[in-house]
Structure 1
Amino acid sequence: MAITEIIHPRPISSEMMYENYLQKVDSLMVKDDLSDNNAELLEHLLILIDYYESDNYNIKTDHLTPIDRIKYKLEVKGLKQKDLIGIIGTKGVVSEVLNKKRKLSLAMIRNVSEFLNIPIDKITSDYLLSN
């Protein structure tokens, strides 16, 4: 996969893919002015790299928010936001939670932990809400 082909980053499944993502991050980091699309791409790549390193190199990813962990697990499992309806709440509540407009409740944390097989301690840390 050429670096320029990374448009919608997928979870990292090989060392070669990991190296390609690292190169793309390097190229994005040297740009003075990131477009909104490139800034979003950079954020996604960094999250995917963090998870890959955590799983393969035993590097701590404690700085990731619970919402980032949930979004990553959804992607890895091939699920969509709508698959959390009933697990977290209504469509609107799911949207608010994943867009950091509403905090996860204890019941939501328990349900998400069980549904996505995420250890509870990885999704209970505090995080800032978006404005």
Structure 2
Amino acid sequence: MTTTLNKEEYIKLLSETVPRIIDTEIEHKRLLNEVDKLMDLGENLTDEQAEVLQLLVTLIEQYENKVYQMKAVTPLDILHELMSVRQLKQKDIVEIFGSKGITSEVINGKRSISKNQAKALGDFFHVSYALFL
């Protein structure tokens, strides 16, 4: 079902909210505040207000997807984090890898973690071994 908007009312709302592509955190917060104001109206939103709300939400989502993207975490990142949290040094996990050389290569990203090593790391840190694969 397509709704016919009152052009004058819609233009008035646009001039009040001034929606635009978001490129700063200040603009992001400003448009979030505008969304809050419209959301507070609940079911009393006019068709024009609902259209502006949808536009603002689209702009906010676009900005947040660009700015707040999560970085993919590697098995090595997980190992480093778990070691850091537990204040472990490379020497503390040599047993898992079998030698200082292999441990050094894994820690420095020159060698990937094998399936057997992943299982041993999972047991050692009490987490799923799948985190290391």
TM range (shorter): 0.3 to 0.5
Greater relative contact order, per chain length (Cα 8 Å cut-off, separation 6+): 1
Length-normalised TM-score, structure 1: 0.46
Length-normalised TM-score, structure 2: 0.45
More helix by share: 2
